[in-house]
Amino acid sequence: MEYLVDMRTTVPAGTPDETVAETRRREAIRAGELAGQGVLRRLWKPPEKPGEWRTFGLFAAAGEAELRQALESLPLHKWMTVEVTPFAPHPSDPGLGR
């Protein structure tokens, strides 16, 4: 099953810049691992508000519990607010049969 995940990351005030940089570095590594496993399919950057990092991701998982486990493995997850929208195939999807 595929899921659209809206991830809004807000770093707590007073977090040292070195901590933020290291967490973002580990986030990139973990995202690459999830992509290699076929769990993370795509990422997009929508417009952001000041002080907010926002990302839309297309993920694939057997179920929402598996998806949540993958999301919780992201180093930035501790600072994220996550909204998950499950997707079901649409009969008119031009990608069907490809």
User: Shortest CA distance to 42 belongs to which of 70, 93, 4?
Assistant: 4
Share of the chain above pLDDT 70, in %: 98
User: Shortest CA distance to 83 belongs to which of 55, 60, 42?
Assistant: 55
Which two structure tokens, joined as six digits, stand for 7? 């991830």
Task: Pinpoint the alpha helices (H) of 1-98.
Answer: 17-36, 64-72
89 or 75, which is more confident? Answer: 75
User: Shortest CA distance to 59 belongs to which of 35, 26, 83, 25?
Assistant: 35
Would you state the pLDDT for residue 93?
Answer: 86
**What are the phi and psi torsion angles at 10 (to 5°)?**
-125, 115
Q: What is the pLDDT of residues 7-30, one digit of tens each?
A: 999 999 999 999 999 999 999 999
Domain architecture of the chain: domains with CATH: 10-87 (3.30.70.1060)
Q: State mean pLDDT over 39-65.
A: 93
